[in-house]
Amino acid sequence: MAELVFYSGTMDSGKSTLALQLDHNHRARGRVGRIYSSHDRAGEAVLSSRLGLSTPSVEVGNDLNFWNDVVGELTSGGRVDYLVCDEAQFYTAEQIDQLAKVADELAIDVFCFGILTDFRTHLFTGSRRLIELADRVLPLQVETLCWCGARATHNARTEDGEMVTEGEVIVVGDVEDPDRPRPLVGYEVLCRRHHRRRMTAARAQAGVLSPDVLPFD
């Protein structure tokens, strides 16, 4: 039976790298797949990893219907054995339902990759629906680290190093890109303690204390 599988992790945990590796492994065994992504750091209609690897993909906008797209490919004489769906946290709940239908009705394996929570620590819509529907939810084994060295569990949005907790959910940025000026909007991973205290790497390096006041005189 085909499965709907959700690989989840924070930023920098190797989700896109694993998606590319999984696609390579299946293609090496003669299987034919379709690759989807959304809001990739490298631009539209591409699946890329921080290691520099990339491959063309189908860009997932809110108007894309996975069921119609796959059925259209099959009825036109194409072959589809599996789907690789990166940045699945950005998909709508209806699109996740469509992916489940593809797995159940067409016997096509669906492998989704994404982040669980946004910079406000709230579940993304696509991730929530995947948790509800997926046959398996698999946390990635590559642990990311907070600036303090502890295991990173939360994604933080920063503006010039200052953490923010309000704004649009989807804003593409990357504080790790050395080939362009530091963006106004960036992201970094933090442990829960420092996410709660809004202590980014920049604040820590500047010696800024936590805004939390200890209950002592």
The CA R_g of the chain, rounded to the nearest whole Å, is 19
Which residue from 169, 98, 93, 170 is spatially nearest to 132, judged by alpha carbons? 93
CA dist., res. 208 & res. 204, Å (int): 6
Q: Are 134 and 116 in contact (CB under 8 A)?
A: no
Q: Are 158 and 164 in contact (CB under 8 A)?
A: yes
Query: Which is catalytic among the residues 87, 159, 166, 188?
Result: 87
Question: If 0-12 CB within 10 Å is exposed, 13-18 middle and 19+ buried, where does residue 63 land?
Answer: exposed
87 assigned to active site: yes
CA dist., res. 140 & res. 9, Å (int): 6
Q: Catalytic amino acids?
A: 87
